[in-house]
Structure 1
Amino acid sequence: MDWRTVTFDWNRARAFLVTAEEGSLSAAAKALGISQPTLGRQVAALEQELSTALFERGSRGLELTQTGLELLDYVRAMGDAASSLSLAATGRATSIEGEIAISASEITAACILPPILKKLRRQYPGIRISLVASNEASDLRRRAADIAIRNFRPTQPDLIARKLGRFSATLYGTSELLSRHPSRMPDGSQGVGYIGFVSDNDRYMGALAASGIALDEESFSVKTDSHPVQWEMTKLGLGIGMVPVEIGDAEPGLERAFPDTEFGGEVWLVSHRELRMNLRVRTVFDFLADELADYFQWAEASSRTKDPR
């Protein structure tokens, strides 16, 4: 290979890739942790090096040119290779001290992880934790997180996973709200209201319908995509909301809206295979696996007995 033909700067190629994937210079700059003018100069410099325009201003903002579209797949391959190199190099680290990113759903991050992370920090004070609280699955291949807690089993061959147990959730309302609506089902403007989701509420309604709880959009008195916010609204009596049973059963003044109905699934702890060679990641992974397995074992027993912890 004639290496003299490869003249462009990888940082500029990365700037192009992230801008294309994020859709704007401002979003890409935020993702990379640099200023927008710096990013703009990197993209412009790459265009000059390649003697071609990669973006143009369209009616909906920044858009890829035809050349940009054709080059994007090549740059994505470069990005994947760079991520693999970073993962492999990071996997050789032998120190327990340092930063580690853990991804979990909002309700897990808010209600389950804090005491476990306190214990982790007490045992390993040199570890600094970045907790990514999101209901979207983090891209572990691109280092969005080092370790993820997911409510589904991963299928990618380069990920490793350990099953932690099962989770159970159901619908709750305040005792006062449920006493005013013994049927629990909405019946127009005078009916009990439910707390739903701004996005993907159809999937939520489908899951409820599969258990015999048939709702429509008018059944929802309030919507938010944040599970902790839903929980706070449920506790205040704004409507009937979904929450893990070990949390809902332990809350004074709340009752199960449908005592015989539960929704559940598996819980998995996931990391990239390369990172398991990193002593810090392996240590935290094993610690979380033990602590969370104990938690979900208790939660499953709590679900069967309906006995608050």
Structure 2
Amino acid sequence: MFDWEDLRHFSAFSSAGSLSAAAKTLGVDHATVARRIASLEASLKLKLVDRRPRAYALTHEGQRVAELAEQMAMSSFALEHFASAGQQTVEGEVVLSAPPALLGSIVARRLGELYQRYPQLRLKLVGSKSKASLVRREADISIALARPTEPTLVVSLLGHLDYRLYASPGYLASATVRRYIGYDESQARSPQQQWLNLQAGQQPFALHSNDLRIQAQACAGGIGIACLPAFMAQEHGLKEAGSAQQTMSIEIWLAVHEDVRATPRIKAVTDFLQQQVRPLLRL
């Protein structure tokens, strides 16, 4: 019989694609993940990975075991969802995943009212630019910049978030050459960056960052012009640097797994998000 912890570590590796990424997900070091995979191989008497100089790669047997492990995980999550659905009081942990800028500037600063209403509720806020899988229980609720496509989710459009060009008052008063602030290569295909590239044309970029909050702070420091949502521009005292026609928008979606949407603690948070976030967006 194999150790379930060995399988959990192997499953994390197969999902993440590398030892280091799996270790980060599990909160352990990469040597522990490697040791657990070796232990699972010994228990199953199967070679699950090819140990290459710079990476591990799944063998054919490893791919099959990873598929079975995923099926087992789904069954486990379904059981958790079933058990949670019978809960009658608003208590316990809810994991909310959303882009960091939205979590920090819109959600986190409005949580006082929620906790006053439900003091036994515990939130875990996960700032992530990638989509969290609700099916694999990476989160209970997610706010995403594109419509989630997992088939067992209940999704609703919260609204549209408008972006415009902003700069600091000092920059607007003194700049002789327009310089821009944008995403780095990790977000080069995002709608915001593609739109900003069109606005900038041949004019230079002074700074790139994968974090919108850093872009806003740099913009406030007078480095150049950034593409930001209005709430973030207001936080930093920025002024519009483009015409009224220079605007773009992205959809903001709310998603929850269909098995737990009526669970009191989940419903309390989704209702709160609908009440607090939707009014800040354009419908």
TM-score bracket for the superposition, by shorter chain length: 0.7 to 0.9
2:147 to 153, 157, 164: 153
Do the aligned partners of 1:162 and 1:289 also contact (CA within 8 Å) in 2? no
Deviation at 1:194, TM superposition (A): 0.9
Q: CA RMSD in A?
A: 2.6
Instruction: Provide the residue aligned with 1:187 in structure 2.
Output: none
Q: Distance in 2 between matches of 1:86 and 1:219?
A: 52
Deviations 1:220-246 (A, max 9, x none): 111111111111111111111121124
Instruction: Provide the residue aligned with 1:287 in structure 2.
Output: 272
Asked if residue 215 in structure 1 is aligned to residue 205 in structure 2, the reply is no
**Aligned residues between the structures:** 281
Q: Which runs of 5+ in 2 are unaligned?
A: none
Q: TM-score, normalised by structure 2?
A: 0.86
Q: Distance in 1 between matches of 2:189 and 2:268?
A: 40
Q: How does 1:48-197 map to 2 (within 5 A)?
A: 48-181=42-175, 191-197=177-183
| Secondary structure in 2 matching 1:274 | coil
Do the aligned partners of 2:225 and 2:241 also contact (CA within 8 Å) in 1? no
Q: Distance in 2 between matches of 1:122 and 1:229?
A: 32
Q: Distance in 2 between matches of 1:136 and 1:239?
A: 27
Deviation at 1:260, TM superposition (A): 2.5
Letter in 2 for 1:28: A
Deviations 1:262-301 (A, max 9, x none): 11133222111111132111111112212222333xxx49
Larger radius of gyration: 1
Indicate how the Cα distance of structure 1 residues 250 and 219 shifts in structure 2: closer, same or farther if over 3 A, else same: same
Q: Distance in 2 between matches of 1:63 and 1:147?
A: 32
Q: Distance in 1 between matches of 2:20 and 2:237?
A: 45
Deviation at 1:254, TM superposition (A): 2.5
Indicate how the Cα distance of structure 1 residues 253 and 95 shifts in structure 2: closer, same or farther if over 3 A, else same: closer
Do the aligned partners of 1:205 and 1:214 also contact (CA within 8 Å) in 2? no
Deviation at 1:201, TM superposition (A): 2.1
| Secondary structure in 2 matching 1:263 | strand
Asked if residue 268 in structure 1 is aligned to residue 268 in structure 2, the reply is no
The share of aligned pairs that are identical, in percent, is: 30
Do the aligned partners of 1:151 and 1:265 also contact (CA within 8 Å) in 2? yes
